[in-house]
Amino acid sequence: MFFRLLSFLVVAVSAGVVTAQAALVVPVHIAEFVEINCLDCHEGESAKGKMDLAVQPVDLVGQLARWSRMRERVHSFEMPPVEDSEVTRDERREFAAYVDGLLEREVPKLPVDPGQVTVRRLSRGQWRNTVRDLLGVAVDTSGFPADDLGYGFDSIGDALTFSTLHLEKYLAASGEVARGVFHGEDPANPERRMFEAEAMRLVNNRGASMSGGVANLFTNATIEQAIEVPRDGVYQVRISAGARQAGDEPAKMLLKLDGKRLEVIEVPNTALKDFVVETTLKAGRHKTALSFINDFYDPKHPNPKLRDRNLLIGALEIVGPMDARPVPPEQQWLQASLTGRNDMARLRRMIKTMLPELWRRPVTARERGRFQRAGSQRLAAGESLLAVQRFVLTAALTSPNFLFRLEDSAKTRAAEPLDGFEFATRLSYFLWASAPDADLRSLTRGQRFRDSDEVTAQVLRMLRHERSESLATDFAAQWFALRALADTTPDPDRFAGFDDELRHAFRRESELLFSAILREERDVRELLDCDFTYVNKRLAVFYGLPHAGAPDEFVRTTLTGDAMVRGGLLGHASMHAITSNPTRTSPVKRGKWLLDNLLGQAPPPPPPGNDSFEGEDAIDDSATLRQQMAQHREHSKCAVCHVRMDALGLAMERFDAIGRFREQDGAGVIDASGQLPDGRQLDGLVSLKKVLAQDPMFIRTMAHKLFVYAIGRDLRPVDRLRVDLEVRRLLAQGKVTVRDLILVIVRDPAFGQRISAE
């Protein structure tokens, strides 16, 4: 035993990238704790979890990372297992306190090692946001190939693939953007869309003859035509019409647009002539209808030519837009550059202005020259300036310099700072999922991005900006797995009424909660438990809550009494829906989701043959489910993970598979009780919220998730040691906000520095 104990008393560290001159000296009582409680399972080739404590890591990072991992397992009562040991609560606390002190003392001594990040392609969401914010053009990217996930996020360099299909989609979308920016509209020569009346749709197929290029409406009849206009604006509706008169009034033609009366036009006894109505139209498809509304017939009139009143329609023409197209504020920087003595001069100035903005960095003369030569050749071949401008913008948007977040490699093995443009780009895609704005790019001047106070001021400004909503709709939506709602398909027979409208409301409620915690600088633990939520009319009815506002408006609602159960993420129907099976709840899925997403403790995959329950189709109530889970835990290999996982999941059992609250099911009153490995009792969601909010692993896990999202890779042991130390310091101060955690990530070497791949 002496020799086994000796390896924990003095550990010399002196190899690899990280070195230490002094040895780590471990107190005897800590070494004895490990010897007595850990080595039996964690020694030799058969060591559980592949953690052989008899073989010490040679570098300081590995040694500290092992102590940190051991601390987490001991503090959570996971190791040594409660049922197989007599370790007291005080002994666990003493061990955890020792490791905390060790890490506090040793982690700051670690040399700076920022690690490496694989080149990242813009995700489809980032591509959409970037084009919107730089050029003011909205593009639907839902048809792009879905981005692969890495560690739960679509911003991971190693996971973001690139294929010919991606290139095809980017090329088509970039062409659409180029046409939106360089639209070619000229109010003095507006576009005309002509529709021959003979080809228009005759309603009810009667009351008119369609021949000779003319629609002859001889009774009160209607012809219709669908039209499409490119943008919101002013348009002329020109109707070529004439009439054969009878009676004491001229023929009257009613013009309707999308079912609404626009104007009644009196058509005199004349050959075809144009009648013009000017109106404002929204972009998109519309339905126009032309109706003859005052038919007259007098067969006894002495003049045969005056016996029958008919309306003749030759054509319908849509002209416009007639107004000058407004320049979006986001695009004014580019439009201001479109000046010059001639076409080539205008093109050169456009390229010089455009490329640095789109590529998020300074551009070399050689790079500009390639675009200028390509444009010059096309102008010389007779293409219009408009066509060449579209070509150049499309090429810039499909360049790797736009599609990828490219960064220079470090020139030495020593860590070195990113340049200002790279740092600004990292910061903008972290907090905005979009390109940096002018204020952020100003950090590059005078090396201001190396000033901690300057960077902090920029972070605070960016978090106040509306673009930071992406932290809710992108980061939080992926962290909470809200995107899984799109694939959630509850059994329609058991859960009638669940539809896309409710699906959207579920997701939006959770996004708005995160946004409120961020913007109001609330403690992040209020994500788990708070006294308010956001509901539209549909969700309010679903929850049984009041709603004062327009039906589609999400209103902040204060919760009281029994409704308090809806406060915080775990009371949201989104969480219950994504962690359930189509026909019933799943405490195992719910417990696993809590461990993985909120506590950073992903359980291993289920052993073969134990990934489902026997007779699963027969489980139709919580009592039967609880019995099956108890039998499942009787397998020793299952019990280790399921003891904690099942207790957490069962605490949410009073919510069905789409998040409806229930006290009873087919078996009677639902039993939502359970016991955690440390002896704490759970009895429903209220107690579960309290347990999770008190667990420092929740805040630590949130910091880890922010790191992965921001840096674009998983944490290495050295990253985890640094981040966890900063989180521990924040926890000692009390309140912890999203802003605090973001600043931890931004100030970490992995965010602002790089190291050579050699």
Report the percent of the chain where pLDDT is more than 70. Answer: 91
Amino acid found at 520 = E
Residue 590 has pLDDT above 70, yes or no: yes
Give the number of other CB atoms < 10 A from CB of residue 196.
16
Structural tokens at position 226: 């669908």
Instruction: Specify whether the backbone of 332 is left (phi greater than 0), alpha (psi in -120 to 50) or beta.
Output: alpha
Question: Residue 50: what pLDDT?
Answer: 79
Phi, psi angles (nearest 5°) of residue 400: -55, -25
Question: What's the whole-number mean pLDDT along residues 458-473?
Answer: 97
Structural tokens at position 76: 């959570």
Residue 387 confidence class, pLDDT cut points 50, 70, 90:
very high
- Report DSSP state, residue 25: E
Angstrom distance (rounded) from CA 304 to CA 192 = 39
Closest CA to 346 of 377, 324, 376: 376
Angstrom distance (rounded) from CA 197 to CA 214 = 6
Question: Residue 14: what pLDDT?
Answer: 33
Three-state secondary-structure class, residue 336: coil
The 10s digit of each residue's pLDDT in 148-159 is: 989 999 999 999
Interstrand relation of 308-319 and 201-202 (parallel, antiparallel or unpaired): unpaired
The 10s digit of each residue's pLDDT in 220-269 is: 999 999 999 988 999 999 999 999 888 889 999 999 999 999 999 999 88
Residue 467 confidence class, pLDDT cut points 50, 70, 90:
very high
Residue 633 has pLDDT above 90, yes or no: no
Question: What's the whole-number mean pLDDT along residues 339-344?
Answer: 91
Angstrom distance (rounded) from CA 517 to CA 756 = 38
Say which residues have a Cβ less than 8 Å from residue 308's Cβ, sequence separation at least 6: 218, 244, 246, 296, 297, 298
Q: How far is CA 330 from the centre of its chain?
A: 22
Residue 311 has pLDDT above 80, yes or no: yes
Question: Residue 9: what pLDDT?
Answer: 47
Interstrand relation of 251-257 and 284-292 (parallel, antiparallel or unpaired): antiparallel
Question: Residue 757: what pLDDT?
Answer: 63
The 10s digit of each residue's pLDDT in 609-623 is: 555 555 445 566 666
Cα separations in angstroms, 307 against 295, 302, 310? 11, 8, 10
Range with the poorest average pLDDT among 7-11, 184-188, 305-309: 7-11
Residue 601 confidence class, pLDDT cut points 50, 70, 90:
confident
Question: Residue 620: what pLDDT?
Answer: 60
Angstrom distance (rounded) from CA 53 to CA 46 = 12
Three-state secondary-structure class, residue 665: strand
Residue 639 has pLDDT above 80, yes or no: no
305-309-310 Cα angle (round to 5): 110
For the chain, which residues make up each domain, given as ranges? 2-109, 192-319, 473-694
Structural tokens at position 331: 């695009």
Structural tokens at position 603: 């359980």
Question: Residue 357: what pLDDT?
Answer: 96
The 10s digit of each residue's pLDDT in 678-722 is: 888 999 999 999 999 999 999 999 999 999 999 999 999 999 999
Question: Residue 628: what pLDDT?
Answer: 65
Question: What's the whole-number mean pLDDT along residues 209-229?
Answer: 90
Range with the poorest average pLDDT among 78-87, 462-471, 551-560, 739-748: 78-87
Residue 526 has pLDDT above 50, yes or no: yes
Q: Are 563 and 543 in contact (CB under 8 A)?
A: yes
Residue 733 confidence class, pLDDT cut points 50, 70, 90:
very high
**Hey, which bits of 502-547 come out as E strands?**
532-535
Mean pLDDT, all residues of the chain: 88
Longest dimension (CA), the chain: 131
Report the percent of the chain where pLDDT is more than 90. Answer: 65
Question: Residue 2: what pLDDT?
Answer: 42
Global pTM value: 0.86
Residue 16 confidence class, pLDDT cut points 50, 70, 90:
very low
- 192-319 belongs to which homologous superfamily? Galactose-binding domain-like (2.60.120.260)
Phi, psi angles (nearest 5°) of residue 90: -65, -40
The 10s digit of each residue's pLDDT in 365-385 is: 999 999 999 999 999 999 999
The 10s digit of each residue's pLDDT in 397-426 is: 999 999 999 998 767 677 888 999 999 999
